[in-house]
């Protein structure tokens, strides 16, 4: 009888972990950067490689930082949502073209529209590493003081904008 209790106990524990894991939302991956300053960078602009942009240039405003790439299918899913948000003028969106060829990225923006105030190019992915990017798209909400207040993993949807991102934007803009 004792021989069967140990495997049965292990089985019950594993089923418990599985049940808990199935209830977790993979988009709700906690970021250790929430509440901390956005990692600094100085990257070339996609539109004009002779010019650079850094988070310090954006101090004093609430902004979204969207990490994307031309090769990313999920980025295309969110593109129309970002375009609509951009047209509303509620919050400026800055993009980071991640591990991509600048010509390919520019072609996507030319073809589908450009929701970004500016896009920086992270050709080798080093800045992405500092932000904890493990897949694109990822979007960060950054406050006036340069502090990351929220990270959205995966495509931004109308629902995620309305329920989470825009209420936080409005709170931070007050």
Q: Which two tokens stand for residue 76?
A: 């295309």
Lookup result for tokens 């980071």:
96
122 in Cβ contact with 151 (< 8 Å): no
Lookup result for tokens 């593109």:
79
Residue 159 and residue 146: Cα distance in Å, rounded? 26
63-68 and 93-98 strand pairing:
parallel
- Give the Cβ contact number of residue 84 at 10 Å: 12
What's residue 16's pLDDT? 58
What's residue 12's pLDDT? 73
What's residue 156's pLDDT? 98
What's residue 86's pLDDT? 98
Lookup result for tokens 């199935």:
22
Q: Using alpha carbons only, what angle is made at residue 33 by residues 47 and 91, rounded to the nearest 5 degrees?
A: 45
Q: Which two tokens stand for residue 169?
A: 């934007």
What's residue 31's pLDDT? 73
What's residue 32's pLDDT? 79
CATH class, domain 33-173, is alpha beta
H/E stretch holding 153? strand 148-153
The per-residue pLDDT string of the chain (174 residues; one tens digit each, 9 = 90 and over) reads 566 666 666 667 666 556 555 554 454 556 779 999 999 999 999 999 999 999 999 999 999 999 999 999 999 999 999 999 999 999 999 999 999 999 999 999 999 999 999 999 999 999 999 999 989 999 999 999 999 999 999 999 999 999 999 999 999 999
């Amino acid at each position: 009888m004792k021989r069967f209790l140990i495997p049965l106990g292990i089985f019950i524990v594993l089923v418990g972990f599985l049940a808990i894991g199935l209830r977790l939302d993979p988009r709700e991956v906690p970021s250790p950067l929430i509440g901390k300053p956005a990692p600094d960078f100085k990257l070339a602009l996609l539109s004009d490689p002779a010019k650079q942009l850094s988070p310090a240039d954006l101090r004093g405003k609430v902004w979204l930082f969207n990490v994307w790439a031309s090769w990313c299918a999920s980025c295309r899913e969110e593109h129309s949502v970002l375009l609509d948000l951009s047209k509303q003028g509620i919050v400026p969106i800055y993009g980071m073209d991640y591990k991509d060829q600048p010509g390919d990225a520019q072609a996507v923006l030319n073809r589908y529209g450009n929701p970004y105030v500016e896009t920086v190019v992270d050709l080798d992915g080093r800045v992405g590493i500092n932000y904890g990017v493990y897949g694109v798209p990822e979007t960060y909400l950054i406050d006036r003081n340069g502090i990351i207040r929220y990270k959205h993993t995966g495509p931004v949807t109308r629902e995620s904008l309305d329920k989470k991102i825009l209420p936080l934007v409005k709170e931070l803009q007050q």
